[in-house]
Structure 1
Amino acid sequence: MAEDPWHEIVDALYAVTLGDFTPERDRRAKELKGQDAGLAARVKTLKKPSTAAWVVNLLVRRETEQVDQVLELGASLRAAAEDLDAEQLRALTKQRRQLTAAVTTQARGLARGEGIKVSASVADQIEGTLHAAMLSEQASEAIRTGALVRAIEPSEVGGLGDDADLADAVAHADLLGTQPTPTEAPEPTRPNLRVVPDDGAARRAAEEELEAAQEVLEQAAEEADDAEEAVSGLRARSLQLEQELEELRRRMADLDTELESVVDRLEESEAMLEEATAARADAQAAVAAAEAELARLTDS
């Protein structure tokens, strides 16, 4: 970002850990109050990012090349759409799905390293934001700022090349067109090692193995929680569909009964019509005979 107090503060704030954002923002605003009241007020209005937005901001800072790859593929997609190149568009769309899924997985790993659990729904928002950035130049600029405050839905930007006003998706509209300072993952703290006789080495090795296994278990538990959430949703939908199906079956049975009744009444009506038609023909014949007899008697 440009080297001015406002952009430097925004850049630094949206690089902090999610839980530290609000206290750090308030601290900076308080610190600036006696120096520049206007700047302090602007800082105080900065919104805390959603979890999905924070993860995307982290991704932009830590994996700049990966994000550039995503956005470059998006530019190629938009160009293919403008050129009406259907074959290239199909190929690029397949690449887009693979790339956004891979980068979302990478983003979840980065967040986990910062102590932030990314649920399945948040992961969907992250992938949706990357997808939106590939569809829209405006969305692409928004995520490049590294100062997103909310996720961006692909539906917000319409079709390929159809841009929308996404100024509210970033901390401030004047950040569009800027990029954050790249950061590196902090080096893990390593203990000072020294060789000493130690009869408990085997025990410590076992403890380390246990700690590693617990980490694997924790990750597996998180994935199981996500899967359980998805299964619960599908079960609820399944029950709803079963109820709807049962209602349709009852309705079909009622319609079958009604149809049988109508068919019976139709048959009865047709029989009555046939009898009435025959009776009318007999009556017409009798009238004709009577008229003929009357005419004969009159003539005689």
Structure 2
Amino acid sequence: MPSATDELIQRLYQEPPDGFVAARTAAINEAKEAGDRDTAKRLAALKKPTVAAWVVNLLALRRPELIDDLVDLSAALREAQRGLKGDELRELTAQRRQVVSALVDAARRLALEASGPAAKLPLGEVEATLTAALAEPDVAAQVRTGRLVRAASYAGFGEVPRPRLRLVTDSSAEVDDEDEEIEEADAGAEVVEFPQPSAKEKAAAERRRREAEQKQRELRRELSAAQAAEKRADEQLEKSEAAERDAEHLVEDLDAELAELERRRTEAQADVARRKQARRTAERETAAARRRVGDVQAALEDLEVDEPD
């Protein structure tokens, strides 16, 4: 059973990306006002998704059964490829294309319902992400969360390399028959003993063996060093990507703060205009009152002058 915060996060990731930052800021402010600092901190860590990631999130959150079908098909494809079941693999591959196409269409409809018919959707990235989910269980697990931040991609498909197959024709079958006949003939032939290698040849063979072993050891050391360098590069890449995401997050937060400040500035300007208008009205009323006082005073003075001595 998802918690209230998890449900809130799901709602945020169903928001179109152009409204994500504002919705997240409002949710953070509500959590702070309620004194729930942990939830506010958790919400502040959420990243804004790209449009493609948002479309996939909609599919995962609103039609999770379709993602389950995708994962089941992925498992069947891996099993067929491990067993090198050609007919089954071809059938499942065709099914994969149909399933991915159907999922992209379902995601498109959900996105258009949420953002309007005029929305421009990167359906190619959506398809690439769903294809990656078919090939990679880790990607499928991320898709299932409904919290993707960016689209995924996959260069190939499957866990094991495909074998090199030879096309068997009638001529090749004849060759095989000839090979069998030769083997049968050899079976009835006299066994020929080959001469044993000389000491010089043995020494040369031993030298080549030691050289090959030495070369293998050197290559293993190079492979180990290359793998270590690759690991360090991957770690550095992850750090760089995390730093980039943090910087983007900061920009989004600052944009949200600027938008809020601009809204407050607009309200303050409107308030100044209202107060200025009220001042001008008060000035006119004051001037009218003063004129009225002057008129009354003048009338009184005229009456005093007209009175008989």
Normalised by the length of structure 2, the TM-score is: 0.47
| Higher Cα Rg, which structure | 2
* TM-score relative to the length of structure 1: 0.48
